[in-house]
Structure formats: C-alpha cells, structure tokens
Chain A
Amino acid sequence: MAKRKTLAVITGIGGRLGQLLARRLHREPDTRVIGIDRRPFLRKPSDVEHLRIDIRRKACEDLFRTRRVDVIYHLGLMHDPRQGLGEHYTWNLLGTKQILEFAQRYGVPKVVILSTGDVYGPQSDNPAYISEDAPLLGAQRFAGMRDLIAVDMFAQSYFWKFPEIETVVLRPAHIVGGVRNAVSNYLRLPRLPLLLGFDPMVQVLHEEDAVSAILAAARPGVRGVFNVVGADALPLRTLVSLTGKPTWEVPHVVLPSLARRLFQLRLADFPAAELDYIRYSATLDGERLRTVTRWSNQYTVEEAVQAALRSSVFDGGVERLPAGLPRAS
C-alpha cells in the first residue's frame, strides 16, 4: 500500500505568496495541496485543488471534516488600505479564529500563520534588533494595523490554549518581489518619494526566501513566534539607489498631508501613516528562526529588488476582495 500523502491546506492561495508556496509544495512527491481562496489561481498546477470559497463559510469546515489535514498554511490575511476596518476585522480575525478552531476540532497538528513584521511598527526609538518579545506597537500611529496585531496575538493564545497544535507565527520583514504590497509597490513607482533628512534602516525579504521560511517553520517540532529577516539591513537610500530610479525629496512636514489628500483622491495607494516606514527604522532580529530551523536568506538584497522591478505587472496577487461577492454572515 502506498504511503499516505501529507495533506497541506493553503489559505489565500490566489495571492502571490500562496501561489509560490503551492508550486513549491506540489513538486514534493508525497504532498497534496488544497488551496482556499475566493480569488482565482492562474496557471494552477493540475494536481493542486482549489476551493473558491470564503474561509468563514460552512463548506470550508466540510473540507476539514472529510479530509485528514496535516498542516495549514494560513496566508489568507488581508491588508488593503482601501477596505474598511470592519471588513478587515471580520476577514482577518474571524478567518483566523475559524482556521484555528478547525485545527483544534479536527486534530490538525500544525498551523503556520503568516503575520507581519509590521506589527512592531516604525518608531524613532526602535532598537536596531527588534526581537520577538518586543511589544507590538505597530498600530499606535497606524490604525490600519490593529486587526493584524489582533490576529497575531490571537494566534499566540493558541500556544497555551491548545499546546497539542504546533502553532507558528511568522513575522517577516517587508516581502519584496512579485507580491503586491506597500514596499514592492513603492519600489515599482516611477519616481520614489523620500523624506528630506531621513534615511532609516530597512530590511527586504525576497519572496522565495519568505516561502522557504514558511516551509522551514512547517517542519515538525517548530513552534512559537519567529521574525523572518531580510538578507541585510541597509539604509533606505541605498536600497532606493539599487532600483536606479529617480527620487523626489519631500520635507516630512509636507508629505503626510499631501499623501492623505492623494489617498483620498485615489491618486496614490499609500495611506499617510505608511510614510513612517520611510522615516523611522523597524529592523528585526532574525536569530531565533536561524537557530531553530537553520533557515537563512538565499537571495541578496539586490536580487530581491530586481524581483520586485521585474514583475511590474502581476495579475493574480491583489489582496483585495472581488467585487460582488456576498459578504459572510
């Protein structure tokens, strides 16, 4: 009799990272992949199953009831400044609660949750190495982070509530590549804004390195919170110079109000609070993940930046709900 294959469930499989992770997993001979996402998965490998449903729907529970799932990769978190806080809360927090409850109810031994390094937030008095034990201050100036911090802390409560589940919370530095996120979008701008007189240290993580870290965290025995760092911390202006693009320098007293107006007029996709990322440092300490899993960055900062620039148009990874779909009740 053939050995039973490992069954991996990926939420948010339609996103760029979900797709990369699915491709990596489906190449492994003894792994089956099921993805959950309302968004489409373009150029999907044929042996990957894709359920186009909402995590919060009952059909999702049927999956866990009928199949023995070995590992859940929970990448289906939304961070879209255009969506309201209410939608963020129900999608992210209720979705995560749902996933963790399925894990507990149907005996899934491993859950990997992709949180974000942004939970710490950029601050002028951040230490140069922010450890996993640092307070999550990311929302003190950026209300749009509140739900993600709530998700992170909710997931942490499972460490002690259900110790039989190996729960892993990953807090990656800015993931850069074909993904649609603030940093990759920033690097893809034709002209990059900088704040006059500010040059914070930044870390960027190549998307393939992020996927490797997710896989490393899924190994048996790994549990807890882990920062995932970029290859090096470097000054923002050095990072920007790697794109070879022109910049414009704006005084920090002017840009926030300008950015707020542009965001309101839908001329820019950056909420003003995100400007803190080009003003203050938030660099993570990656020692714990390196020690526990021997994971390390395989891509240089230059390669990460080039990956972001190459994929200036990416069709599948918009972390935004398709219009017209029914809201979960």
Chain B
Amino acid sequence: MSGTVVDNLQRLQAVGQSIGHNLATQLAQWSEPERRRTLAERVAREFSEASQEVASLILSGSWRTPDDELERRITHLLGSKNLSPHGTDAFGFAPGEVRSVVPYLEFLYRVWFRAEVHDIQRVPEGRCLLIANHSGQLPFDGVVIGTSLLLDRDPPRMARSMVEKFATSLPFFGTFCNRMGQVTGLPDNCRRLLENEEAVLVFPEGARGISKPYSHRYRMTAFGHGFMRLALESHVPIVPIAVVGAEEQTINLVNLAPLAKLLNMPSAPLTPLMPLIGPAAMLPAPVKYHVYFGEPMEFSGDANDDDAVVAGKVAKVRAAIQAMMDKGLAERRGIFI
C-alpha cells in the first residue's frame, strides 16, 4: 500500500521536474532582451498588417460564397448515392445540415486564417486518402482542409476525417461532428468510407502530432502505419497535404500529462495565456494558413507486410509532406501574413 503511494509520489515528482525543466528552457530563450525585442516588433508589425486585412475583408463582405454558388455545392453533396431517404448516410453525415454551418466555417477559413490553398484540384474523384501533418492543439487544420474541399474544389467534396474517439463520444460536439461527416477513427469505418468512394482525411501523427509543444513546431512526429495498410488493402491513391501556419495558432509550452490523464483527455497543453483566461487560451490566434496539396501517390503491395516494409512506404508519404512543408516555410512572409 505505502509502496504504491511512494511510487506515485516519485512519478509525480519526476513529471514535475520534466515540466519545470521544459518551462525553464523556453523562458530562458525568450528572456534574452535582444531576441525578445525583435520578436515583439515582428509580431506587432505582422499583426497590424493582418488585422487590416481582416478588417477590410469583414467590411467588404467579400469573403462569403454567394448563396446560389453555396446552394449548388450543397446540392452536389446531396446527390450522393450513400444517403438514405432520411438525409444521412450510415455514419450520420447530413449534407443538408452543412448549409447553416458554412458561414462559420467560411469565416474561419477566409477571414480568421486567410487560408491560401495550392493545387486543390489534385484531390481526385472517387475514393482517396488525404494524409496531412497535424498541429495546433485543436484540429483547426482539419476544419481548414475540409472547408477548402467544400468551397474551393470543383466539384465540392466532403472530407471525412477520422476523429479521436474521445471527441465523438462528447455530447453536442460528437453529434455535430457526425452530422458534418466526421467519423470515429476506426479502421473499419475508414474501410467502409473508402468503399463508399469517399475522401478520407487522416492525420497519421494523431494526438501526438497535434499536441506537440511549441518548441517542436514543424517537426513531424512519427507516422502511424494504419493508413498505409488501408491504402494497400483498398488500392486507394494517397494525397499528401502539408499545412503551414497551424503550429503557431496556439502555443503549447508544455503538456500536462497527469492532468490529461485525470480528465481522460488526449492531452492538456499549458499555453502562455492560460493562467489569465483559462480554457479560452486554446482558441487559435489569427495565423495565416497555407495548405499544399501534393500529387496523388499510388502504392502497391501486401497490406499485411512486416512493419519494416510498410514503414518504407509511409516514409515516402512523410517525405512528400515534409518537402511541401519546407517549401511553404521558406516561402511564407510571416506567421500572420
């Protein structure tokens, strides 16, 4: 009995030390006066330019898709053969309910994040896997990719993303996800969606990727192999996608793993503003998103091959995303512009 108490105390102490160490290193970096001044100046300059852009977008109202165009896109989705007479597919996706949500999605997409999307027409018709890097603490990268396919691809497609089980079990949010076509992340669900000729969005880094601390930004974590095995099994093309910009939307100083465990959540990031404004600190900063769609990649082979064989194929996808990400980072003018 007392043994476990001591064990737990020791573990807690070790966790505390690692959290403290991480915080100290990050604060030390920022406490150099020179570095702090240039960073502050740069952020202030970019931020004022970005807010002017946001203001002019809002004032002109030019960010909204015209109603008839939106109607045409929704009608296209409603034409899917996977829908029952009750307006949903077997996963609970209700295209008719997307209409009322589009203004909010589009505000995030065109105003808040001012997303720049490259080569979206590379997303093919029919079944495909969309594979992207994952970042930003909350999955706004998924929202942006989904909105781009809905509003900027011709004809529109609904990205069906594989969502963390935790999220789809929540009241309201889980139901909302389902109606918007987002699906509990299970291999079986993915297989069925592909059989239904859907475009399935997978973040192979999963929770590891999205909740990584700010100091690890633009360093992709290890990719899971599940998507590649499904691609080999279902013979689907893979579209690599790089998202640049999302890393800076919410700054995660450190992951509070014990708290996450306590609340049964995938992660519990501590952000700089959290002591002041609490959970609202998880809301994204108005960073600029750049989304790069790569050429579809085809793979062949045995879906049940050894990990080592599959890992080689996964590495090719990861490298394709890395290349687009590097290019995007080199080309971007700033975090907010």
Contact = CB atoms under 8 A, between A and B. Distances in A.
B172 interface: yes
A125 B168 CA distance: 8
A197 B171 contact: yes
A232 interface: yes
A283 B175 contact: no
A129 B192 contact: yes
B91 A128 contact: yes
Given A232-B86, A234-B86, A235-B88, A127 B174 contact: no
B195 to A, nearest CB: 10
Interface in B179-225: 179, 183-184, 186, 188-189, 192
A319 B63 CA distance: 61
B172 A128 contact: no
B184 A125 contact: yes
A298 to B, nearest CB: 15
Contacts of A235: 86, 88, 92, 94, 179
Contact of A238 (B86, B165, B175, B178): B86
A124 interface: yes
Given A127-B189, A234-B84, A195 B92 contact: no
A127 B188 contact: yes
B85 interface: yes
B169 A124 contact: yes
Contacts of A131: 188
A300 B85 CA distance: 10
Range of interface residues on chain A?
20 to 34
B90 interface: yes
A297 to B, nearest CB: 12
A249 B157 CA distance: 34
A125 B186 contact: yes
Residue among A197, A252, A280 with the highest chain B CB neighbour number at 10 A: A197
A88 B213 CA distance: 54
Nearest to A280: B169
Interface string B299-335: 0000000000000000000000000000000000000
Contacts of A234: 84, 86, 88
A21 interface: no
Contact of B175 (A127, A128, A199, A300): A199
Contacts of A232: 84-86
A308 interface: no
A124 to B, nearest CB: 3
Contacts of A93: none
B171 A124 contact: no
A198 interface: yes
Contacts of A199: 92, 175, 178-179
A74 B307 CA distance: 47
A228 interface: no
A281 B94 CA distance: 16
A301 B88 CA distance: 14
A325 B239 CA distance: 68
A176 interface: no
A196 interface: yes
A75 interface: no
A115 B87 CA distance: 30
Contacts of A233: 84, 88, 90, 92
Interface string B151-171: 000000000000001001111
Interface in B249-293: none
Contacts of B186: 125, 127
Contacts of B165: 124-125
A26 to B, nearest CB: 34
Contacts of A282: none
A125 B87 CA distance: 23
A118 to B, nearest CB: 19
A201 interface: yes
Contact of A128 (B90, B169, B174): B90
Interface string A264-291: 0000000000000000110100000000
Contacts of A126: 184
Contacts of B175: 197-199
Interface of A: 124-129, 131, 195-199, 201, 232-235, 238, 252, 280-281, 283, 300-301
What 8 pairs between A and B have smallest CB-CB spacing? A197-B171, A124-B169, A232-B84, A197-B172, A127-B188, A234-B86, A199-B175, A125-B165
12 contacts: A125-B169, A125-B186, A128-B192, A199-B179, A201-B91, A201-B178, A233-B84, A233-B88, A233-B90, A234-B88, A235-B94, A281-B92
Interface of B: 84-88, 90-92, 94, 165, 168-172, 174-175, 178-179, 183-184, 186, 188-189, 192
Given A197-B170, A233-B88, 6 more contacts: A125-B184, A128-B192, A198-B171, A199-B178, A201-B88, A232-B84
